[in-house]
Amino acid sequence: MSQSEALLVEREGGVLTLTNNDPPINRMSFEYMDALEAAVEEAARDPEIRVLVFTAAGDKDFSVGMDLKQLQSGSAARGGPEAVFDQRLRVLAAIENMDKPSIATLFGYCLGGGLELPLACHFRLAAAEGAQIGLPELDLGAVPAWGGTARLTRCVGRDAALDLILRAKKIDGPEALRIGLVQEVHPLSELKAAALSLARELAAMPPVAVAGVLRCVVGAGEAPLAEGLAAERAAVLRCGSSRDQAEGMRAFLEKRPPVFTGE
């Protein structure tokens, strides 16, 4: 995989780590989003990549979101602000709808796009201390523009979403855990290691079954029950013809760990 100065790409087995490289505040620049879009597209095509981890350089801030100065001065060359937002919505949708799990680390400032990207991920891990997580766009007279209102509401419910957005609140890791915004909280010094540990755990799972679960829970989770049941049946049938399911059954009977290949 290629990398740019704005995005560092590191691969360990089936785990791909994508690092925003603009410390200390890790703005989500045009260059970062261009590189991220290319990396996500490539990861989706690569059967050897099983999990993606989104993090940022240093230990100060995950991201303060979009580079507003760059937006004002450079968006015209990219087709205007709407084209810029369209790209970001496209990248986040690709992450959310990928057949591979994604994990985000939340530490320091996770504001605006710095929360909207993690909201598109399937797992969010936050630092136990120092995190300031929120969608404070109303302080700028604006509205979250990368799907934040919709995804946050689906994540924490209407009341909590309104409380965070309308009051431009910033919450810490323990509070994010309490309202269901993140699944785990770890000391900052251990956060990135915890994300990699979770990624390795998920990478060891059967890829065909993982993809099926993601299609059911993410793809059909908000659909009518009949559609959700149909998606589940399709996943069951796909797994039933896979070598991974045969390996899982055999390993269970032989009392050994299974070795899944994604076939």
Per the model's pLDDT, the better-predicted residue between 97 and 259 turns out to be 97
Confidence of residue 72 (pLDDT cuts 50, 70, 90): confident
Does pLDDT of 1 surpass 80?
no
Confidence of residue 175 (pLDDT cuts 50, 70, 90): very high
Per the model's pLDDT, the better-predicted residue between 96 and 79 turns out to be 96
Averaged over 151-174, what is the pLDDT?
A: 97
Does pLDDT of 66 surpass 60?
yes
DSSP labels for 228-252?
Answer: HHHHHHHHHHHHHTSHHHHHHHHHH
**Active-site residue list:** 116, 137
For 102-130, the pLDDT digits (tens) are 999 999 999 999 999 999 999 999 999 99
Confidence of residue 4 (pLDDT cuts 50, 70, 90): low
Q: Which of 113, 12, 102 is nearest to 62 (CA)?
A: 113
Residue 198 phi/psi, 5-degree rounding, is -65, -40
The H-assigned helical ranges of the chain are 30-45, 68-74, 81-96, 113-120, 148-156, 158-166, 173-178, 188-203, 207-214, 225-240, 243-254
Bridge partners (DSSP) of residue 185 are 126
Averaged over 201-220, what is the pLDDT?
A: 95
Q: pLDDT at position 263, please?
A: 80
Does pLDDT of 141 surpass 50?
yes
Q: pLDDT at position 158, please?
A: 97
Decide: pTM greater than 0.75.
Answer: yes
Averaged over 12-19, what is the pLDDT?
A: 98
Averaged over 220-242, what is the pLDDT?
A: 91
Residue 164 phi/psi, 5-degree rounding, is -70, -45
Does pLDDT of 3 surpass 80?
no
The pLDDT > 70 percentage for the chain reads 98
For residue 66, the tally of other CB atoms under 10 A from its CB is 24
Cα separation, 127 vs 106, whole angstroms: 6
Confidence of residue 2 (pLDDT cuts 50, 70, 90): very low
Q: Which residues of 162-193 are buried (b: 16+ CB within 10 A; e: fewer)?
A: eebbeeeebbbbebbbebebbebbbebeebbe
Q: pLDDT at position 221, please?
A: 87
Averaged over 34-46, what is the pLDDT?
A: 97
Per the model's pLDDT, the better-predicted residue between 67 and 178 turns out to be 178
